[in-house]
Amino acid sequence: MNIEHILQETIISAISELYGTVVDKSQITLQKTNKEFKGHYTLVTFPLLKISRKNPELTAQEIGSYLSQHSPIISEYNVIKGFLNLTITPETWLKLFQTIDSNTNYGFTPVEDDAPLFMVEYSSPNTNKPLHLGHVRNNLLGHALSEVLKANGKKVVKTNIVNDRGIHICKSMLAWKKWGNDETPESTGKKGDHLTGDFYVLFDQNYKKELAELQSKGLTKEEAEEKSELMVEVREMLRKWEDNDAETVNLWKMMNNWVYAGFDDTYREMGVSFDKIYYESETYLAGKEEVMRGLKEGIFYQKPDGSIWVDLTAHGLDHKLLLRSDGTSVYMTQDIGTAKLRFDDYQINRMIYVVGNEQNYHFQVLSIILDMLGFEFGKGLVHFSYGMVELPEGKMKSREGTVVDADDLMAEMIETAREMSQELGKLDNAPPKEVEEISRMIGLGALKYFILKVDPKKNMTFNPKESIDFNGNTGPFIQYTHARIQSVLRKAEDQKIEIPETIDKTISLSEKEEGLIQLHAEFKSVVKQSGEEYNVSLIANYIYDLAKEYNQFYHDHTILKEENSDIRNFRLLLSKNVALTISKGMSLFGIEVPERM
């Protein structure tokens, strides 16, 4: 049952009868009535004035009068200037609520066998450092988008491309070789990704020291960079790796395996996963083959130094390097190869790249190049572009060791949740094991929700203390609302109150109860809109609004002490459904909701 659709159809009939004109649904603008006015839905009449040829107030009055006489779901109406406010009957709200209650998957569309296949790429880490706060936003957005697309009936393949080769990887390798003293994760007690990241920082420190010494001898910064022996060694190491030098490859495998083990632990704690992982070390060769084909077919061109380029000036862009003069590849080479292999592996209907907005140009170019190479899927690539995430202190830089590692951040969030819960006395009677589990749920829930509630396109500042507040638009507030409802339902069970499957359709509802049903019913359209717009923050903020409305209802109405058993049972059933929707909405983000807090 969709009240808005019923209203639209009735309004179309009203316009046809009153003004002799058939209009399309797109011409009917309905919105929720502003809280300061009486009503549930408001019809904006201004787009209809050319049809009615009357002023806004009279048009609204005529349509309102027609609807009140011909629509059984409207109990009354009022006109405020050109806005027609419509009040829906309590019976209609109860009927809608019964429909929602009868479907535990309300809001979600089942995935059919012939559903389109969406591939979502996210994470894309480098194997020279651990995952950091920027990766956290990427992973959470990618995972949430994948789950929202599934909830919209799409088949989804979650994929990751691991950047496991290149100059940046060789920097960590060279640092370990020169100054590592044969350290391993086992000998140091460090996670492998953290140990490898330490060597990446160490390389940068020594590189800067070398540049400073060269500049002190009178060289310019550019000349010093050209003379750097460390960079010469790094480039030579990359060349050896691409030539399959045994010693270099063995070192690469050893350090990458350290990092993979570390990544797995981080992904597990974060609650994200992948259906298929590609590795740049395997896909860049396919990319080089495509670049060479493009050169042979005259799509690309070669400079005298041997480097291969593509001319994109016809597309309003510039010239793009595809292969360096020494034959080594660039990121674009790898992405060309990865795209080809993916479409060979899967019958993909839509390929979505979850990558920060600093790569907007890169994906614009990738789409054009794939199209130039004759791949039909080239034009259909989607870059899910999101803004940067920073801390209150400002930007982070991996090579300078100023990033916040994802592992440290998650551990800090869990510890902060434990401390705040103890201060507020929320876990006073819980056994130690339950305290740990709930602290983990709250800490990670706070982190995930705070990041996902922000429009992905916007830059954001992550404030750990603000995110874990038990009041306001936060994960813990929503989790606490769910736990509060579960407490009410447990007390009902203790009092031997059985919640019936059907409700009395004759009970009277308060405005707050009607509003809660109306808001609850919107879950379906919000999930749909979120999937269509690739904006998971719509669901996050909807769930917050639902939790906030429920808490106001809880404050204004008695539930278990309500003397009328039919009203009491309705309120219990309403509470149960709100908790279910909160749980379903938060599950799309990988956020768990505790039964008690």
pLDDT at 396 over 60: no
> What contacts 440, CB < 8 A, 6 or more positions away?
414, 417
Cα separation, 291 vs 300, in Å, equals 8
Q: What is the Cα 131 distance to its own chain's centre?
A: 17
Residue positions counted in the chain: 597
pLDDT tens for 185-217 read: 999 999 999 999 999 999 999 999 999 999 999
> Number of H helices and number of E strands within the chain?
22, 14
DSSP classification of residue 166: S
165-185: average pLDDT: 95
315-339: average pLDDT: 91
CB 49 within 8 A of CB 59: yes
Q: What is the Cα 155 distance to its own chain's centre?
A: 17
Look-up of token digits 């979120």: 530
User: What pTM was estimated for this model as a whole?
Assistant: 0.90
For the chain, give the percent of residues with pLDDT over 70.
Answer: 98
Closest CA to 573 of 479, 502, 480: 502
Cross-strand pairs, 311 = 319
Query: Quick one: fold of 122-204+257-390?
Result: Rossmann fold (3.40.50)
Rg (CA), the chain: 30
Confidence of residue 25 (pLDDT cuts 50, 70, 90): confident
Closest CA to 123 of 156, 148, 157, 160: 160
422-434: average pLDDT: 77
What integer pLDDT is reported at residue 379 of this predicted model? 87
pLDDT at 398 over 60: no
pLDDT at 394 over 60: no
CB atoms within 10 A of CB 406: 24
What integer pLDDT is reported at residue 29 of this predicted model? 86
CATH 1.20.120.430 fits 406-587, yes or no: no
pLDDT tens for 77-120 read: 999 988 999 999 999 999 999 999 999 999 999 999 999 999 99
For 196-211, the DSSP string reads: HHHHHHHHHHHHHHHH
Cα separation, 559 vs 264, in Å, equals 46
54-83: average pLDDT: 93
pLDDT at 597 over 90: no
Reduced 3-state DSSP string for 352-408: EEEEEHHHHHHHHHHHHHHHHCCCHHHHHCEEEEECCEEECCECCCCCCCCCCEHHH
Q: Where are the alpha helices (DSSP H) in 381-522?
A: 406-424, 432-452, 464-467, 475-494, 511-521
266-272: average pLDDT: 96
387: left (phi over 0), alpha (psi -120 to 50) or beta: beta
Confidence of residue 310 (pLDDT cuts 50, 70, 90): very high
What stretch of H or E contains 128?
none
* DSSP-derived 3-state class of residue 161: strand
> For the chain, first and last CA: distance in Å?
35
Higher pLDDT, 404 or 534: 534
Q: What is the Cα 59 distance to its own chain's centre?
A: 43
Give the pairing type, strands 460-461 and 74-80: unpaired
pLDDT at 474 over 60: yes
* DSSP-derived 3-state class of residue 409: helix
Cα separation, 37 vs 42, in Å, equals 10
Token code pair at residue 503:
């409700």
What integer pLDDT is reported at residue 403 of this predicted model? 67
Cα separation, 146 vs 154, in Å, equals 9
Calculate the CA dihedral of residues 546, 549, 551, 556 and round it to 10 degrees: -150
Closest CA to 413 of 540, 271, 547: 271
pLDDT tens for 277-307 read: 999 999 989 999 999 999 999 999 999 999 9
* DSSP-derived 3-state class of residue 230: helix
Cα separation, 574 vs 39, in Å, equals 21
Higher pLDDT, 498 or 582: 582
What integer pLDDT is reported at residue 82 of this predicted model? 87
For the chain, give the percent of residues with pLDDT over 90.
Answer: 82
DSSP classification of residue 111: -
Cα separation, 244 vs 239, in Å, equals 9
**CA-to-CA separations, 501 to 1, 174, 574, 577, 579, in angstroms, rounded:** 18, 67, 11, 12, 16
Q: What residue type is assigned to position 449 of the chain?
A: Y
Cα separation, 582 vs 539, in Å, equals 10
pLDDT tens for 127-168 read: 999 999 989 999 999 999 999 999 999 999 999 999 998 899
DSSP classification of residue 153: T
> What contacts 523, CB < 8 A, 6 or more positions away?
106, 107, 542, 546, 581, 584, 585
320: left (phi over 0), alpha (psi -120 to 50) or beta: beta
Average pLDDT, the chain: 93
What integer pLDDT is reported at residue 355 of this predicted model? 96
Confidence of residue 376 (pLDDT cuts 50, 70, 90): confident
* Biggest distance spanned by C-alpha atoms of the chain: 92
In 3-state terms the chain splits into helix, strand, coil percentages (rounded to 5) of 60, 10, 30
- Which class is domain 3-88? alpha beta
Calculate the CA dihedral of residues 221, 227, 228, 233 and round it to 10 degrees: 150
CB 322 within 8 A of CB 309: yes
The domains of the chain are located at 3-88, 122-204+257-390, 406-587
Give the pairing type, strands 350-356 and 382-386: parallel
22-42: average pLDDT: 90
Cross-strand pairs, 79 = 84
For 58-95, the DSSP string reads: HHHHHHHHHHHHH-TTEEEEEEETTEEEEEE-HHHHHH
pLDDT at 228 over 80: yes
Cα separation, 2 vs 88, in Å, equals 12
Confidence of residue 476 (pLDDT cuts 50, 70, 90): very high
47-52: average pLDDT: 91
